[in-house]
């Protein structure tokens, strides 16, 4: 339903507060921000766990020469960044509302 002279007011999918211009089935800015915070926290925990595993793998499996250690450190850092980014994206998508 379109109100005359303005954007339609659509209820938020979670708190059902009506927000002008919100697409159907979407979250209002407050709920979206709350969800983002939860997703970020979850992604942080998951990426720390993955990084710890990667660090353990690098420490035990790679030879101890400086070049290998450098590559190992880069791999551990990349693991943290990539897992955090992916986990955050997935969490935003699949967290319960």
Total residues contacting Zn ion by CB under 5 A comes to 5
CB 84 within 8 A of CB 35: no
Name which of 17 and 85 has its Cβ closer to Zn ion.
Answer: 17
Tokens of 25: 């089935």
Residues numbered 12-71 forming contacts with Zn ion, rule: CB under 5 A = 12, 14-15, 28, 31
Q: Output the smallest distance, CB 14 to Zn ion, in A.
A: 5
DSSP lists the bridge partners of residue 10 as 19
Distance CA 1, CA 97 (A): 25
DSSP lists the bridge partners of residue 18 as 11
Stretch that binds Zn ion, among 7-15, 41-49, 53-61, 74-82 (CB under 5 A): 7-15
Check residue 83 for interaction with Zn ion (CB under 5 A): no
Distance CA 91, CA 83 (A): 12
Task: List residues binding Zn ion (CB under 5 A).
Answer: 12, 14-15, 28, 31
């Amino acid at each position: 339903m379109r109100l005359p002279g303005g954007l339609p007011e659509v209820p938020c999918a979670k708190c059902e507060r009506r927000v002008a211009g919100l697409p159907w089935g979407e979250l209002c800015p407050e709920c979206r921000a709350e969800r983002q915070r939860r997703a970020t926290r979850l992604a942080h925990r998951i990426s720390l766990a993955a990084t710890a595993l990667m660090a353990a793998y690098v420490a035990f499996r790679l030879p101890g020469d400086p070049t290998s250690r450098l590559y190992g450190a880069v791999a551990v850092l990349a693991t943290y960044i990539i897992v955090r980014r992916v986990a955050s994206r997935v969490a935003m998508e699949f967290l319960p509302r």
